[in-house]
Structure 1
Amino acid sequence: MSRHPEQMAQVRQDPPLLPATNRRDTALHPPVQLVPRQAERDAVFAGSTVPAGATVFCLIGAADRDPDAFAAPDTFDIPRPDPATARSFTAAAQHLAFGSGLHQCVGAAFARAESETVAAMLLSLLDQLRYTPGVPYRETGLYTRGRASLNVDFSPARSSPGPH
């Protein structure tokens, strides 16, 4: 959200938008980038045959950026009509950030709860939260991916008026 201060302000004003924000961030920066799978039988993809027993690497980190499946896939916009936020961290999710079906990450629900709780706390405690100017944003990792560091500037949130 810190790259989109107008949307951060919107979430501060309307905290129930936090799950949609979390879902959108996960779509743009999924924790898992690729998963290996072994072909059970010969399969043809785009005219090429993958023989039975071959290992293939599914680039699931790119799945949420497919313009044939999602409108404006590279845009951070909350709320957006796709996919359903309520099921975004479940085995029925339309995206693959935490796998799907039998391959759903067992920690997906915990990751959602943890990230939304921390974000809610930070939004209430830190005012004018933004990336530190001049420090480049960088992600790292091949299988799993995350921010190399998170350098931010902020002001403490003003306390509410009243007796101290």
Structure 2
Amino acid sequence: MAVLEILEVPHPGLRAVAKPVDTVDDAVKKIVADMFDTMYDARGIGLAATQVAIEQRIVTIDLQEPESDAEDAKPVRRPHVFVNPEIVSVSEELSSYSEGCLSIPEQYADVQRPARCRLKWLDEQGAGHEDDFDGLMATAIQHEIDHLNGVLFIDHISKLKRDMLLKKLTKQRKG
């Protein structure tokens, strides 16, 4: 498979709204495989197709959490594919995570999102699913679906914090 180029702010492609996938075919399966290669190569836990200039509603997530709390516990890959993901409902309860993004490298900010969400989606075989998610998985799903709608995590923080974060990113790029 292939490692794709990840778009970074301020690339206008990050504001694109992805189109639904009509059929989960071999072309979509190749995109999914390339997205996982790209996500793992960049050491991310989630990737939306729009981040690699593919305007289709496809998300890959793998939290790569260790099986135990032991210090030497190795992360375990549990890849998840969401084609045409749709949030059906969210909890009123909120949770806050320090979010980062492969499209805004090495920058983080606390973002409040619903603590739980119910999602409807197709898997990489085209089978339909509906399930509830919480914790980091709920946050990651909402973050990646935002990407499919042209929304970045920095859109959820104050203008002052966003400006500071983008200024730090510009400084970092100049090295």
**TM-score for the superposition, normalised by structure 2:** 0.24
TM-score (norm 1): 0.25
